[in-house]
């Protein structure tokens, strides 16, 4: 059971201080120790005034004992909700006149069950108090008034205040006040304190049909919902492996690979720019709506292959704005799994991605040869539509109800949505910095490899279309095994860091084989090694997920996906330039010959058939060296973060005039700040 209470009132009434004391069970020290627990921004801590919509919760267990946040240690909202039978959600709103719009936004967008109007005993009733009281009654929200700082008020002022509040203010609004003289009066009043009996609509449950649809689903959220989403999306694209290569060569007959790199680069850069925003928004508005958006826009270019190739490549580039399905899916999985289960669940997601490519390229090539390209395109379109309908009708929301309504309607700052701002903040947390550097150095060659490898097999290694499909199927099957059985073993017995190092070693090996191998058996062996390297990304995602707070899973995965998006933009372009510089233009019709071909290039290609892959091996070696410094425990840097928070509290306790707010590590499990 949840009750939402919006706390409003004039500036300096003590709203945030009162909530800080209630939710943490410790009295204020007279210097702002209690209220700083609810502040969200640096300027709020400097000015001591709320300027945004803040939230905190207070729980009661089955025996009516209070379950709140301890002064020391960490008890997040999810744990409080799990241990509580009833939860009170407090919505801390601004009291300054210039933030009235933000306050009204909180009173309407959060749909409180009650409004608590806090007034300083000496200053009741200011115009601001009258205005918020009128808004509450206009919304048909029950109101109770809390007078603060009564210890510094003479007794006669209290008597006059009761008379004025009941006669001059509330009665003017044609409402009957109820005065509670003791605890029994308060309990009786609270039992009848509801607006349902006034033949008005229940304002706290105003839902649009779209909202109902987006929050419906089949059963409870599970990992299997995420697996089906990933499988259908990439199965649709896997069917198009051969048609895309053909359309690419027909549309751009000269320098095919360079233009392919440019298109993929634009898509990757747009993904990099949008991933942090989508991840942060999914932490506020829920995962389902963004799963729907990402899958829809990612698959939107598919039918355009047969209709208009130029429009297809245009839409393919622009679809990068929403090509972050993995980010939202990993956040979805993080919502419904424990820390111990998360690594295995991430491995299942990545394994499902590999499994979707086991049969789809071969099926697409068979249908293309037996029937036509158009049949393959429309079959892929049907699979994509099926995926969208599955999300819309069957996928339930995973973000816990007790977290989502608290955050719903909260404002997202541009600083949080800015991808470059996120890159700047990476340095504040050593662990996140190491993870992002590892992802960048290891995924840059992987992204370039994905963009060119199928054509590389066809042209340089002289694989047939059927052999390419068989190769993809083999790697897919082995990847499923690696990301389920092997990854589970590694995570359980060796830990996150060892799993990451394991994947990087195999990635180095497979890139060396691709770069220097010129015989077919070496390429097939490299494919088996590549399957083992597929454990790297789910291991990194699980590591980042354990490091992040429950209400920051989308932001954490969005940051990692944003780095991958940047690599998706740079990797194809870098590989294309290296191929071009060494006289290899991957054009299916023109073969591997290029105007830049020389005897030096021919001699070098005999020794290094795949120069970009050799360059990629160097980058992954650098990633391996960076990963050495990753700590074994994902929560280790949280200790440093709590020490910084303790220093900040100490600066307040000392009463210093100049308060220096230290840079907090990114994505910590500490919700105090």
pLDDT digits (tens, 9 = 90+) for 426-440: 666 677 778 888 999
Q: What is the mean pLDDT of residues 543-571?
A: 71
Q: How confident is the model at residue 218 (pLDDT cuts 50, 70, 90)?
A: low
Last residue of a domain, one of 177, 206, 235: 206
CA distances from 69 to 37, 398, 401, 664 (A): 10, 24, 19, 20
Mean pLDDT of 484-494: 85
546 and 426 both lie in a single domain:
yes
Q: Which of 51-65, 273-287, 530-544, 625-639 has the highest mean pLDDT?
A: 530-544
Each residue's pLDDT tens digit, 354-400: 788 778 888 888 888 888 888 999 999 999 999 999 999 998 888 75
pLDDT of residue 416: 57
Go through 504-513 and write b for each residue having 16 or more CB atoms within 10 A of its CB, e for each that does not: bbbbbbbbbb
Over residues 411-417, mean pLDDT: 55
Instruction: State the pLDDT at residue 295.
Output: 93
Is the peptide bond between 521 and the residue preceding it cis, with omega within 30 degrees of 0? no
Instruction: Identify which of 661, 643, 642 has the alpha carbon closest to the alpha carbon of residue 651.
Output: 661
Can you tell me the distance from the alpha carbon of 243 to that of 146, in angstroms, rounded to the nearest whole number? 69
pLDDT recorded at residue 44: 65
Checking DSSP bridges between strand 86-92 and strand 54-60, what pairing results, if any? antiparallel
pLDDT of residue 623: 93
DSSP 483: I
Position 478 scores a pLDDT of 87
CB crowding 182-212: b at 16 or more within 10 Å, else e: eeeeeeeeeeeeebeeeeeeeebeeeeeeee
Task: Note the pLDDT of residue 508.
Answer: 94
Does the pLDDT at position 413 exceed 70? Answer: no
Domain boundary (206, 223, 253) is at 206
Top mean pLDDT of 85-99, 231-245, 373-387, 414-428 is at 373-387
Residue 486 or residue 668, greater confidence: 486
Q: Is the dihedral of CA 353, 358, 362, 363 positive or negative?
A: negative
pLDDT in tens, 4-19: 888 877 676 777 777 7
pLDDT value for 634: 67
The answer for residues whose C-beta is within 8 angstroms of residue 524's C-beta and 6 or more apart is: 471, 474
pLDDT band for 421, please (50, 70, 90 cuts): low
Structure tokens of 238?
């896997």
Do residue 262 and residue 296 come from a single domain? yes
pLDDT of residue 302: 92
Percent of the chain with pLDDT over 90: 10
Mean pLDDT score across all residues of the chain: 72
Residues 157, 284 within the same domain:
no
Which of 252-256, 363-367, 445-449, 647-651 is the least confident region? 647-651
Query: Per residue in 223-237, pLDDT tens?
Result: 899 999 999 999 999
- E strand or H helix at 86: strand 86-92
**Cα dist. 439→30, 131, 357, 540 in Å?**
46, 52, 23, 8
Helix (H, G, I), strand (E, B) or coil at 101: helix
Residue 619 pLDDT class (50, 70, 90 cuts)? very high
- Asked whether residue 134 is domain-assigned, the answer is yes
Sign of the alpha-carbon dihedral angle for 623, 628, 631, 632: positive
Report the alpha-carbon distance of residue 90 to residue 115 in Å, rounded. 10
Looking at the fold, whether 122 and 229 belong to one and the same domain comes out as: no
> Given a cut of 70, is residue 197 above it in pLDDT?
no
Locus of tokens 């729907």: 292
- Do residues 232 and 198 both lie within one domain? no
State whether 93 and 11 are in the same domain.
yes
Q: Under a CB-based contact definition with an 8 Å cutoff, are residues 398 and 283 in contact?
A: no
> Tell me, what's the pLDDT at 551?
56
Q: Are residues 151 and 252 in the same domain?
A: no
In this structure, of 28-32, 111-115, 127-131, 200-204, the range with the lowest mean pLDDT score is 200-204
pLDDT of 626 reads 92
State which of 206, 238, 260 marks the end of a domain. 206
Q: Which residue has the higher pLDDT, 99 or 191?
A: 99
The answer to whether the CB of 582 falls within 8 A of the CB of 452 is no
- Region of poorest pLDDT, from 65-79, 169-183, 533-547: 169-183
Residue 507 maps to a domain: yes
> What per-residue confidence (pLDDT) applies to 209?
41
What secondary structure does DSSP assign to 102-143, as a single string? HHHHHHHHT--SEEEEEEETTT-S-HHHHHHHHHHHHTT--E
Same domain, 236 and 285: yes
Indicate the SS3 state at residue 215: coil
Is there a contact between 300 and 320 (Cβ–Cβ < 8 Å)?
Answer: no
Decide if 571 is inside a domain. yes
User: Is 632 inside any structural domain?
Assistant: no
Which one has a higher pLDDT value, 584 or 250? 250
Answer whether residue 669 is part of any domain.
yes
**DSSP secondary structure code for residue 397 in this structure:** P
Longest Cα–Cα distance of the chain, Å, equals 102
Q: How much of the chain, in percent, has pLDDT values that exceed 70?
A: 64
Answer whether residue 514 is part of any domain: yes
Domain membership of residue 50 (yes or no) is: yes
CATH code at 265?
Answer: 1.20.1250.20
For the record, the structure tokens of 189 come out as 């009043």
List, as one string, the DSSP characters of 151-213: GGS-HHHHHHHHHHIIIIIIGGGT-------SHHHHHHHHHT--SGGGT---GGG---HHHHH
pLDDT at 510: 92
Provide the pLDDT for residue 397: 83
How far apart CA 616 and CA 574 sit, in angstroms, is 10
pLDDT at residue 27 in the model: 74
Collapsing DSSP to helix, strand or coil, 6 comes out as strand
Do 182 and 329 sit in the same domain of this protein? no
> Which H or E element spans position 519?
none
Listing DSSP states for 297-345 in one string gives HHHTTTTHHHH-HHHHHHHHHHGGGS--HHHHHHHHHHHHS-HHHHHHH
Model confidence at 505: pLDDT above 90: yes
pLDDT at 243: 84
Banded pLDDT at 64 (limits 50, 70, 90) = confident
Q: Tell me the helix, strand and coil percentages in the chain, rounded to 5.
A: 65, 5, 30
DSSP-assigned states of every residue in 254-294: SSHHHHHHHHHHHHHHHHHHHHHHHHHHHHHH-SHHHHHHH
Give the pLDDT confidence of 270-286 residue by residue, as tens digits. 877 787 788 778 777 78
Q: How many domains does the chain have?
A: 3
Q: What is the pLDDT of residue 380?
A: 94
Task: Tell me how far apart the alpha carbons of residues 180 and 407 are, in angstroms, rounded to a whole number.
Answer: 33
Q: Examine the domain organization and report whether 511 and 557 are in the same domain.
A: yes
User: Which pLDDT value is given to residue 164?
Assistant: 57
Domain encompassing residue 171 = 2-206
Answer yes or no: do 488 and 427 share one domain.
Answer: yes
Tokens of 117: 């109007």
Q: Does position 167 have pLDDT exceeding 80, yes or no?
A: no
Whole-angstrom distance, CA of residue 100 vs CA of residue 96 = 7
pLDDT value at residue 506: 93
State residue 429 phi and psi, 5-degree precision: -125, 115
- Give the mean pLDDT of 167-181: 49
Residue 125 in any domain: the answer is yes
Q: Is 583 found in the same domain as 516?
A: yes
Interatomic CA distance for residues 172 and 175, integer angstroms: 8
């Amino acid at each position: 059971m949840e009750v939402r209470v919006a706390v409003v009132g004039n500036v300096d009434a003590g709203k945030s201080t009162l909530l800080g004391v209630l939710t943490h069970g410790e009295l204020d020290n007279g210097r702002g120790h209690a209220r700083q627990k609810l502040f969200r921004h640096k300027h709020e801590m400097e000015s001591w005034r709320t300027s945004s919509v803040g939230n905190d919760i207070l729980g009661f267990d089955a025996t009516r004992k209070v379950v709140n946040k301890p002064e020391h240690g960490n008890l997040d909202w999810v744990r409080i909700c799990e241990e509580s039978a009833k939860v009170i959600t407090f919505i801390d709103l601004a009291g300054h006149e210039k933030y009235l719009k933000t306050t009204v936004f909180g009173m309407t967008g959060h749909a409180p069950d009650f409004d608590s109007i806090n007034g300083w005993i000496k200053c009741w009733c200011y115009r601001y108090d009258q205005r918020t009281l009128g808004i509450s009654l206009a919304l048909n929200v029950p109101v109770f008034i809390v007078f603060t700082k009564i210890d510094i008020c003479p007794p006669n002022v209290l008597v006059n205040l009761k008379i004025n509040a009941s006669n001059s203010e509330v009665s003017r609004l044609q409402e009957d006040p109820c005065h509670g003289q003791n605890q029994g009066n308060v309990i009786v009043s609270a039992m009848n304190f509801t607006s349902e009996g006034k033949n008005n609509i229940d304002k706290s449950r105003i839902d649009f049909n779209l909202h109902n649809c987006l929050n419906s689903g089949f059963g409870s959220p599970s990992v299997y919902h995420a697996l089906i989403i990933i499988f259908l999306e990439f199965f649709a694209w896997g069917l198009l492996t051969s048609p895309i290569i053909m359309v690419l060569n027909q549309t751009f007959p000269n320098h095919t690979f360079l233009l392919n790199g440019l298109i993929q680069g634009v898509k990757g850069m747009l993904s990099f720019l949008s991933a942090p925003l989508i991840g942060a928004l999914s932490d506020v508005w829920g995962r389902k709506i963004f799963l729907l958006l990402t899958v829809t826009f990612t698959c939107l270019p598919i039918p355009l292959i047969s209709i208009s190739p130029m429009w297809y490549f245009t839409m393919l580039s622009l679809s990068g704005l929403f090509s972050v399905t993995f980010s939202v899916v990993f956040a979805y999985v993080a919502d419904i799994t424990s820390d111990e289960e998360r690594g295995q669940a991430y491995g299942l997601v990545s394994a499902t991605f590999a499994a979707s490519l086991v049969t789809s390229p071969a099926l697409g090539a068979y249908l293309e040869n037996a029937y036509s390209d158009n049949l393959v395109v429309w079959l892929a379109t049907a699979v994509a539509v099926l995926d969208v309908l599955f999300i819309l009708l069957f996928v339930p929301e995973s973000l816990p109800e007790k977290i989502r309504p608290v955050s719903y309607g909260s404002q997202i700052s541009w600083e949080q949505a800015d991808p470059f701002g996120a890159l700047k903040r990476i340095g504040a947390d050593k662990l996140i910095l190491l993870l992002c550097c590892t992802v960048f150095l290891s995924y840059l060659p992987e992204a370039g490899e994905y963009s060119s490898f199928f054509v590389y097999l066809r042209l340089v290694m002289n694989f047939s279309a059927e052999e390419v499909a068989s190769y993809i199927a083999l790697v897919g099957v082995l990847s499923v095994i690696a990301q389920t059985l092997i990854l589970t073993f590694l995570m359980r017995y060796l830990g996150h860091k060892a799993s990451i190092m394991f994947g990087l070693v195999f990635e180095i090996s497979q890139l060396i084989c691709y770069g220097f191998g010129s015989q077919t058996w070496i390429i097939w062996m490299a494919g088996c090694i590549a399957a083992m390297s597929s454990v790297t990304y789910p291991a990194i995602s699980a590591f980042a997920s354990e490091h992040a707070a429950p209400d920051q899973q989308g932001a954490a995965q969005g940051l990692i996906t944003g780095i991958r998006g940047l690599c998706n933009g740079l990797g194809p372009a870098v590989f294309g330039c290296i191929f071009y510089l060494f006289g290899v233009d991957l054009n299916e019709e023109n073969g591997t010959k290029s105007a830049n071909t020389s005897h030096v290039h021919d001699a070098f290609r005999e020794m290094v058939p795949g120069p970009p892959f050799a360059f990629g091996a160097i980058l992954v070696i650098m990633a391996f060296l960076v990963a050495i410094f990753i700590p074994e425990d994902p929560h280790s840097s949280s200790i440093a973060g709590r020490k910084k928070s303790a220093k900040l509290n100490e600066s307040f306790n000392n009463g210093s005039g100049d308060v220096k707010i230290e840079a907090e590590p990114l994505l910590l499990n500490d919700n105090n700040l």
